[in-house]
Structure 1
Amino acid sequence: MKPIQAVFFDIGETLVNEGEIYGRWADWLGVPRHTFLAKLGAVLAAGGDHNDLFAYFRPGFDLAAEEKKRAEAGVPNGFGPEDLYPDARPCLSALRAQGLYVGVAGNQPAEAAEHFATLGLEADVVGISALWGVEKPAREFFARCAEHAGVPPAHVLYVGDRIDNDVRPALAYGMRVAFLRRGPWGHIHNDDEALRRCQFVLDDLTALPELVAAHNDGRAVSPTGGVVP
């Protein structure tokens, strides 16, 4: 059984809770937060994305233009330490303590690099799609992760909350995958066949360091997050 030598994490809804981020967009657009989030779920279930959500409430919505307006109004888009999931920091620290290469790589605008720096997380590399010039689900995105880690794809575990952008493309590239069932995408999208191929299927990051350690030690590990005695 090949050991896991590097672990890469998606950003949104894996390390960063986007609930308040979407809530601030709802406030900016003058839409009640519960209505905005309910429509987000409906859009995702129909196969759409956040762009469709914005366009529904404001036809012709221009994300870049609205972000500029928000910045000028003193309510910039982005995330900070208060948006970090509480299990993120201890998880990354514990994995690095095992001597693993720990990376963060997600589909984010260039400004996210500065936002991420404020989180103070322990990571060997932070990959921002806008700065890399390639984004998920492109094969090249996952190749860049493996190149940074300096190990073959089979020794890399990619952790993410989206089946379309994280699970399927990482598996297709030959990586191991930990699917994190949280956030809208994590609960709305489903693909039983793809999930059966995941190394782990988790509800949070708390158990991940021990699961990785058990796997690397040759102990039996349940794909749903338990270490078999």
Structure 2
Amino acid sequence: MRSPTRAVVFDVGETLIDETRIWMRWAQRLGVTPLTMLGLIGACAANDQPVTAAFDTIRPGFDVDAEEAAWAAEDPTGLRNTFDADDLYPDVRSALAALRERGLHLVVAGNQPAQALAALRAMNLPVDEIRNSAELGVEKPAPGFFTAVAELAGFAPEEIAYVGDRTDNDVLPAADSGMRPILIRRGPWGHLHAVRPEAARATVVDSLDELVNLL
């Protein structure tokens, strides 16, 4: 018998945040069409490549870190490669509020750069903790990430649900850690990974609103 779920941990990109505008800004920065940028990101998802492969396809040998530094110098107050509250998926606030009303402990924790932490905290989301890989010092899918997340939540792994859009970074390592994995089918990874055999280890949902009754 499964232990009752007492805490829910959420990934960030394409779970809470729609990353479309980020990729549109990158397309403009790199001088390619939005379709080109999004198509290459989709190819990375389909071929299990890191997103850096998309940049390298557009500009072989592209140095993402150097470009981000130059971009920040040119546009220090712009969003550039990060996000704000306008990028939240429409179901985020309502679902989080409903889950919290049911007494669940809510944590946001994903693989995100340092600047994303401030952006998330500025949104005043109805959650108990917000952390990211930069602050935790370990990235998914490393087991240490899920150990750190369980400590943050304050519950045993079997009492925690982890919600994300990928089988490799979210479903499989969360399941291996003893957590209940939930795969949200949105974004390129979510749709592609939902039809993979390993998705059978997770509960698949199409929106965060489905979690309210599910949990």
TM-score, normalization by structure 1:
0.88
- Superposition map of 1:1-229 within 5 A: 1-74=2-75, 75=78, 76-190=80-194, 192-198=196-202, 200-212=203-215
Whether the 8 Å CA contact 2:172–2:201 is kept in 1: the answer is no
Whether the 8 Å CA contact 1:163–1:191 is kept in 2: the answer is no
CA distance in 2: counterparts of 1:73 and 1:204, whole angstroms: 37
SS for the counterpart of 2:16 is coil
CA distance in 2: counterparts of 1:194 and 1:156, whole angstroms: 20
CA drift at 1:44:
2.1
CA distance in 1: counterparts of 2:103 and 2:193, whole angstroms: 33
Amino acid in the other structure paired with 2:211: L
CA drift at 1:83:
0.5
CA distance in 2: counterparts of 1:78 and 1:175, whole angstroms: 29
CA distance in 2: counterparts of 1:116 and 1:167, whole angstroms: 23
The percentage of aligned residue pairs carrying the same residue is 47
5+ long unaligned stretches in structure 2:
none
* Count of aligned pairs between the two proteins: 211
* CA spacing shift, 1:60–1:165, aligned 2, 3 Å: same
5+ long unaligned stretches in structure 1:
213-229
Whether the 8 Å CA contact 1:70–1:77 is kept in 2: the answer is no
Instruction: Report the more deviating stretch, 97-106 or 35-44.
Output: 35-44
CA distance in 1: counterparts of 2:152 and 2:193, whole angstroms: 30
Amino acid in the other structure paired with 2:121: A
SS for the counterpart of 1:7 is strand
SS for the counterpart of 2:209 is coil
CA distance in 1: counterparts of 2:178 and 2:189, whole angstroms: 23
CA distance in 1: counterparts of 2:185 and 2:54, whole angstroms: 21
CA drift at 1:209:
1.1
Amino acid in the other structure paired with 2:37: F
Deviations 1:161-209 (A, max 9, x none): 01110001000111001110100111123564432222x2111111211
CA drift at 1:210:
1.7
Whether the 8 Å CA contact 1:71–1:77 is kept in 2: the answer is no
SS for the counterpart of 1:48 is coil
Whether the 8 Å CA contact 1:84–1:119 is kept in 2: the answer is no
Whether the 8 Å CA contact 2:185–2:194 is kept in 1: the answer is no
Whether the 8 Å CA contact 1:181–1:203 is kept in 2: the answer is yes
